[in-house]
Chain A
Amino acid sequence: MDPLRIGIRTVLCYLFLLALVRVSGKRGVRQVTTFDFVLVLILGDMVDDALWAEVPFSQFVVATSTLVLTKLAMTTYKRLGVPGRA
């Protein structure tokens, strides 16, 4: 596969993930939970597919954003408190 295109995709993945991590609010590894680590592994597999163009870049964007959005929604839900719990 063309090395130039692999390079372009790598830079784009890097920039998109950097932006995604910044806007999702993570600032340091002290905040990382065990489940965050699992999410990082899943994200790593998604990056692999995008770098080797096994999936179109749009699918990478949709999948990673959905994963991070779900994580943020769960965090917000927990912060607001689970109904029915003391």
Chain B
Amino acid sequence: MRELSVLGLALGALGLIALVVFGLHDRTTLTSPPEAVAEEFVRRLAAHRPERARDELSARAKPVYPVKRLSAWFGDVESVVDPIDRIEGKDPGMGNDEAWATVAVASARRKVDIRVSLVREHGAWRVDKLPGPDEFSP
């Protein structure tokens, strides 16, 4: 009986979340905001888990960034900032179904800001475009 109550509570909560996200178009409270998604994406790359990082990519970006290309892209970041001490998502901006955020990647001596574009897919933000190495701002 208690199991059914917990199941009912969970389903009710999920229904409410769906209502808020899809019905009221919540984009930052019950879903991860763009800067959190971008930060998590970079954290997974920094942990050398590009397969997991790809989960954060949009459907359009997945074929563009296979595992090897993602690893190479983050290799460019690490060539500037290594060892990485801090990763922080910041400065989010939003259009309708598009957003952007900056991820600051820093070591004790150097720091780069990576500007990431995101799109909204199925109620969640996904990384859509990554800057080239020449677009990293110090």
Contact surface of A with B, Cβ cutoff 8 Å: 1-2, 5, 8-9, 12, 16, 19-20, 23-25, 52-58, 61-62, 65, 68-69, 72-73, 76
Contact surface of B with A, Cβ cutoff 8 Å: 2-3, 5-7, 9-10, 13-14, 17-18, 21, 28-33, 35-36, 40, 123-124
The residue among B2, B21, B28, B35 with the most chain A CB atoms within 10 A of its own CB is B2
Q: When the two chains form their complex, are residues B31 and A56 in contact, meaning their CB atoms are under 8 A apart?
A: yes
Point out the residues of chain B lying under 8 angstroms from A25, CB to CB. 2
Smallest CB separation, A51 vs chain B (Å): 11
Point out the residues of chain B lying under 8 angstroms from A19, CB to CB. 9
The residue among A54, A57, A69 with the most chain B CB atoms within 10 A of its own CB is A57
Q: When the two chains form their complex, are residues B6 and A65 in contact, meaning their CB atoms are under 8 A apart?
A: yes
Given contacts A5-B28, A61-B17, A72-B3, contact A53 B9 (CB under 8 A): no
Q: When the two chains form their complex, are residues B30 and A52 in contact, meaning their CB atoms are under 8 A apart?
A: no
Smallest CB separation, A22 vs chain B (Å): 9
Given contacts A16-B13, A62-B14, contact A54 B2 (CB under 8 A): no
Q: When the two chains form their complex, are residues B10 and A57 in contact, meaning their CB atoms are under 8 A apart?
A: no
Q: When the two chains form their complex, are residues B30 and A57 in contact, meaning their CB atoms are under 8 A apart?
A: yes
Complex CA distance for A72 and B7, rounded to whole angstroms? 11
Complex CA distance for A20 and B13, rounded to whole angstroms? 11
Point out the residues of chain A lying under 8 angstroms from B14, CB to CB. 58, 61-62
Q: When the two chains form their complex, are residues B28 and A2 in contact, meaning their CB atoms are under 8 A apart?
A: yes
Complex CA distance for A22 and B33, rounded to whole angstroms? 30
Point out the residues of chain A lying under 8 angstroms from B10, CB to CB. 61-62, 65, 69
Q: When the two chains form their complex, are residues B32 and A72 in contact, meaning their CB atoms are under 8 A apart?
A: no
